[in-house]
């Protein structure tokens, strides 16, 4: 039911923002991106990007020619700067760099990415040479509407510091200051949140509370990425929160998790001032299945996808149900986390996964110590600082050894 104010707004006064999920132009996709084959890469989605007033995706890969991988867990990605041709030709206007892979090739990789985007007139948000730059809003004027984007990511490797480059780490105190000081610069604020649990289609209780608080602080939409699978969504105080779009373009092994090949664009329609009315549509697709590139779901696929998405979203509206789903997920992941915590190799990890021997043998006193270290804010802060220092020392020693070997 439209209000009287909404009825007075003409259809062409609205502005459309299209948001895409994780894009990684590596593997079989790198040559297609470098040649600018936008239609082959993004397929049916190209008109969505080109017809939108503004479009933005998450670029989850530094663009640099020479490898200089940092020490981290997980893979270190990179692609050539020429890969921006595929993004430019698709009509995508901006990239979010706040993610856990943008510093895979260190400061050189981030700097190269920022330079490449500037040369191709691609707007960037969410990363910079220090925390002040990484946390800046990207503000774009779409007719009479000023839309701001805030890119942030959960703290994995290479978040920015006061004097160090990286992505904008999620910190509610910093977000509050940014939104308070910059409130007059925009009419709408869209938060792009890179976080959550991989291949888990629900928000954790903490993530849901954080996203709802972002809306309470003044955000007009919160879009979560990184989970590599379609999640769910909810409307909170009149504004949308999306808990996982799924991948947009990522090459992957055959037979991998089928959810990694599904996703949806988020299409937001924004009313002109003085109102701040937002509507949301989704464009559902599959990618890298049977052939390279993206294509819209067929009717049968879309019917099943929409039914499952709505079922998950009904669950998201119930905090108790979200708590229960989270407990079940953590129980399933318990052997994996304990194996990582105690530094098990492949063999011991496999045995622990089958037998759960570690959780059976841990004594209550030992568990209490571990819990206190990671749960208490002061202990957690000290532990993180200690581990960061030790890791930096080990990385420096490894670099010296490589230099001596040359």
- How many C-beta neighbours within 10 Å does residue 137 have? 18
In terms of Cβ atoms closer than 10 Å to its own Cβ (0-12, 13-18, 19+), residue 232 is buried
Q: Among 142, 80, 70, 132, which Cα is nearest to 101's? A: 70
Q: What gap in Å lies between CA 269 and CA 51, rounded to an integer?
A: 13
Residues in the chain with pLDDT values less than 50: 1-6
Q: Among 382, 380, 361, which Cα is nearest to 371's? A: 380
DSSP class of residue 3?
-
Angle at 79 between CA 136 and CA 231, to 5 degrees: 65
- N-to-C CA span, the chain: 71
Alpha helices for 218-289 (secondary structure H): none
Q: What is the pLDDT of residues 305-360, one digit of tens each?
A: 999 999 999 999 999 999 999 999 999 999 999 999 999 999 999 999 999 999 99
Query: What pLDDT is stored for residue 91 in this prediction?
Result: 98
Question: What are the residue ranges spanned by the domains of the chain?
Answer: 4-317, 326-389
CB 322 within 8 A of CB 243: no
Give the CB-side neighbour count of residue 253, counting CA atoms within 13 A.
Answer: 3
CB 62 within 8 A of CB 113: yes
pTM for the model: 0.93
In terms of Cβ atoms closer than 10 Å to its own Cβ (0-12, 13-18, 19+), residue 291 is exposed
Query: What pLDDT is stored for residue 350 in this prediction?
Result: 96
Q: What gap in Å lies between CA 183 and CA 175, rounded to an integer?
A: 12
State the DSSP string of 153-208. Answer: E-S-S-B--SSS-EE-B--HHHHHHHHHHTGGG-SEEEEEEE-S-TT--S--HHHH
Q: What gap in Å lies between CA 127 and CA 102, rounded to an integer?
A: 8
- How many C-beta neighbours within 10 Å does residue 267 have? 18
Domain 4-317 has what CATH class? alpha beta
Q: What gap in Å lies between CA 298 and CA 309, rounded to an integer?
A: 16
């Amino acid at each position: 039911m439209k209000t009287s104010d909404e009825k007075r707004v003409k259809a062409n006064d609205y502005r459309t923002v299209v948001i895409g999920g994780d894009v990684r132009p590596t593997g079989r996709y790198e040559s297609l991106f470098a040649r600018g084959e936008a239609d082959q890469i993004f397929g049916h989605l190209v008109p969505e990007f080109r017809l939108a007033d503004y479009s933005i995706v998450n670029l989850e890969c530094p663009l640099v020619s020479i490898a200089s991988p940092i020490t981290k867990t997980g893979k270190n990605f990179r692609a050539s700067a020429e890969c921006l041709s595929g993004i430019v030709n698709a009509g995508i206007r901006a990239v979010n760099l706040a993610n856990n892979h943008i510093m895979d090739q260190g400061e050189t990789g981030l700097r190269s990415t920022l330079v490449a985007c500037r040369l191709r007139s691609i707007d960037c948000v969410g990363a910079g040479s220090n925390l002040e730059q990484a946390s800046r809003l990207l503000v774009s004027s779409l007719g009479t509407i000023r839309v701001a984007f805030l890119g942030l990511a959960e703290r994995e490797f290479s978040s920015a510091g006061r004097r160090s480059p990286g992505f904008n780490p999620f910190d509610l105190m910093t977000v509050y200051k940014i939104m308070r000081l910059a409130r007059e610069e925009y009419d709408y604020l869209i938060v792009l949140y890179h976080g959550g649990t991989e291949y888990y289609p629900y928000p954790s209780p903490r993530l849901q509370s954080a996203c709802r608080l972002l809306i309470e602080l003044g955000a007009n939409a919160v879009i979560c990425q990184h989970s590599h699978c379609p999640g769910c969504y909810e409307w909170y105080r009149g504004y949308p929160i999306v808990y996982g779009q799924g991948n947009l373009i990522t090459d992957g092994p055959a037979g991998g998790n089928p959810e990694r090949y599904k996703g949806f664009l988020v299409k937001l329609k924004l009313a002109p001032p003085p109102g701040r009315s937002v509507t949301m549509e989704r464009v559902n697709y599959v990618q890298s299945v049977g052939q390279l590139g993206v294509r819209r779901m067929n009717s049968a696929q879309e019917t099943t996808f929409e039914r499952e998405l709505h079922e998950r979203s009904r669950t998201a509206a119930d905090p108790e149900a979200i708590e229960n789903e989270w407990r079940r997920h953590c129980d399933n992941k318990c052997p994996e986390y304990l194996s990582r915590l105690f530094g098990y190799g492949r063999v011991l990890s496999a045995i622990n996964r089958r037998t759960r021997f570690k959780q059976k043998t841990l004594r209550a006193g030992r568990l209490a110590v571990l819990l206190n270290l990671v749960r208490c804010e002061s202990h957690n802060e000290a532990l993180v600082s200690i581990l960061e220092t030790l890791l930096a020392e080990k990385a420096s020693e490894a670099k010296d050894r490589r230099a001596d070997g040359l």
